[in-house]
Amino acid sequence: SISMKDEILKRLLAANGEAVSGQELADSLGVSRTAIWKHMQTLQEEGYIFETVKKKGYMLTGVPNSLSPTQIELFLNTKRFGREIHHFDVVDSTQTIAHKLAQEGAPNGTVIIAEDQTAGRGRMTRMWESTHGTGIWMTIIVRPDVSPQQASSFTLVVAVAVTMAIKTLYKNVEPAIKWPNDLLINGKKCTGILTEMQAEADLVQALLVGIGINANQVETDFSPDISDKATSLRLEAGEEINRAALVATILQYLEQFTDLFVNEGFASIKKLWEEMSCTIGQRIEVTTIRERFEGIASGITDEGVLQLTQADGTIRTIYSGDIKI
Ligand code: BT5
């Protein structure tokens, strides 16, 4: 159940920058104006900023930059995803914690989120830079009823969900999916996805969906290693990013697309993926663990496998690797 304080906050957020009358709040919530005022004091202590507009009421002008479960739940519209949230200040990697919680039976849709990772991981042995308080560093435990083989295209489903969320909240930002797990904005990496699996022979126990999003970094927050190829939503959208709202929106799209994926397969999402991708139609260079080759990325199969047309016309299928466009 939602507290009186959160209910007040919800109404102020819904007012979208307009003033909300204290008297109206008191009447509709059935409490005194003093009670409303006290809750406003508490909200202010939590970092919310209000202006009092004479004769009109309270106007919300700033929200705290926090990822606490209460913050996220304010924006959450899902049935299962994000209904259990573990929020940490500093962890080594949210993936490590997710692996442990999944083994202990954490429910489908459990979220592990941290302000800071000391050993954030990319694919293989690569590092993921996770500066304190600036980004969204989270892992979602997803338990889809699919085979391990089908689950191998899940990263593409996640990429579509995150792209949809970003486009919904920031109309002037146009993320493009770079196969398999990057979101680029204006050619720079803003998001990386890492999907790991706990499985038995033909049964997925859990997918550990790691999502790293640069939200509020400014140029100087990036290390020299990545400063010329990384960007943040704030740099691209030109405004401070409300991370809690973005997390909630991602969870909503992810729940929706996971259901679609489980019920109808990757084929049902393929078209959206192709529209959002900056890979298809491009000449690319592929590096796998064993070899390197090039060609035109000509499409993606119903199973989510990348197809490369080589100079001699032969088509190669690519299950994993890195590409250079
Ligand atoms: C990825 O790997 O892009 C997957 C990143 C997943 C991170 C999330 S955060 C929550 C969860 N917990 C974790 O420990 N990990 C997941 P990959 O495609 O291998 O890309 C890694 C490369 O991206 C690095 O070698 C750098 O070049 C670059 N990079 C590292 N940090 C970055 C950042 N913050 N922004 C942009 N690029 C970055």
Task: State phi, psi for 309 to the nearest 5 degrees.
Answer: -95, 120
Taking residues 251-262, report their average pLDDT: 98
Which of the four pLDDT bands, split at 50, 70 and 90, describes residue 1?
Answer: low
Number of domains in the chain: 3
State if residue 80 touches ligand 1 by the CB under 6 angstroms criterion: no
Residues 110, 115, 118, 124: is their CA dihedral positive or negative? positive
Is there a single domain that holds both residue 32 and residue 108? no
Dihedral-angle region of residue 63 (phi above 0 means left; psi in -120 to 50 means alpha; beta otherwise): beta
Dihedral of the CA atoms 88, 90, 94, 97 (nearest 10)?
Answer: -70
ipTM confidence: 0.99
CA 109 / ligand 1 centre spacing (Å) = 22
Model pLDDT, residue 150: 94
Half-sphere exposure of 285 (CA within 13 A, CB side): 3
Taking residues 19-45, report their average pLDDT: 94
Q: Are 278 and 325 in contact (CB under 8 A)?
A: yes
Take residue 240 and report the two structure tokens written for it. 């401070």
State if residue 194 touches ligand 1 by the CB under 6 angstroms criterion: yes
Is there a single domain that holds both residue 27 and residue 126? no
Residue 291 has a CB neighbour count (10 Å cut-off) of: 8
CA 82 / ligand 1 centre spacing (Å) = 22
Gap between the terminal Cα atoms of the chain? 50
Task: Locate the ligand 1 atom nearest the alpha carbon of residue 131 and give its number.
Answer: 34
State if residue 132 touches ligand 1 by the CB under 6 angstroms criterion: no
CA 121 / ligand 1 centre spacing (Å) = 6
State if residue 129 touches ligand 1 by the CB under 6 angstroms criterion: yes
Domain-ending residue, one of 62, 79, 108: 62
Is there a single domain that holds both residue 104 and residue 13? no
State if residue 117 touches ligand 1 by the CB under 6 angstroms criterion: yes
Is there a single domain that holds both residue 222 and residue 179? yes
166-170 long-range contacts, Cβ below 8 Å, gap at least 24? 166/233, 166/246, 168/249, 168/253, 169/245, 169/246, 169/249, 170/233, 170/236, 170/237, 170/239
- 3-state SS assignment for residue 126: coil
Dihedral-angle region of residue 287 (phi above 0 means left; psi in -120 to 50 means alpha; beta otherwise): beta
Residue 192 has a CB neighbour count (10 Å cut-off) of: 21
Structural domain of 78: 69-276
Taking residues 127-150, report their average pLDDT: 97
Specify the CATH number for the domain of residue 292. Answer: 2.30.30.100
- pLDDT tens digit string along 178-213? 999 999 999 999 999 999 999 998 999 999 999 999
CB contact set of 38 (below 8 Å; sequence gap of 6+): none
Dihedral-angle region of residue 286 (phi above 0 means left; psi in -120 to 50 means alpha; beta otherwise): beta
Model pLDDT, residue 209: 98
CA distance 205 to 137: 23
Residue 63: is it exposed, middle or buried by C-beta count within 10 angstroms (0-12/13-18/19+)?
Answer: buried
Model pLDDT, residue 14: 87
Mutate to test the pocket of ligand 1, among 128, 179, 188, 196 (most ligand atoms within 8 A of CB): 128
Model pLDDT, residue 13: 87
Taking residues 263-285, report their average pLDDT: 95
CA 101 / ligand 1 centre spacing (Å) = 22
State if residue 188 touches ligand 1 by the CB under 6 angstroms criterion: no
CA 271 → CA 161, 171, 197, 248, 296, distances in Å? 13, 21, 25, 24, 18
Is there a single domain that holds both residue 41 and residue 89? no
Specify the CATH number for the domain of residue 117. Answer: 3.30.930.10
State if residue 192 touches ligand 1 by the CB under 6 angstroms criterion: yes
Taking residues 70-83, report their average pLDDT: 93
- pLDDT tens digit string along 217-242? 999 999 999 999 999 999 999 999 99
Taking residues 167-183, report their average pLDDT: 96
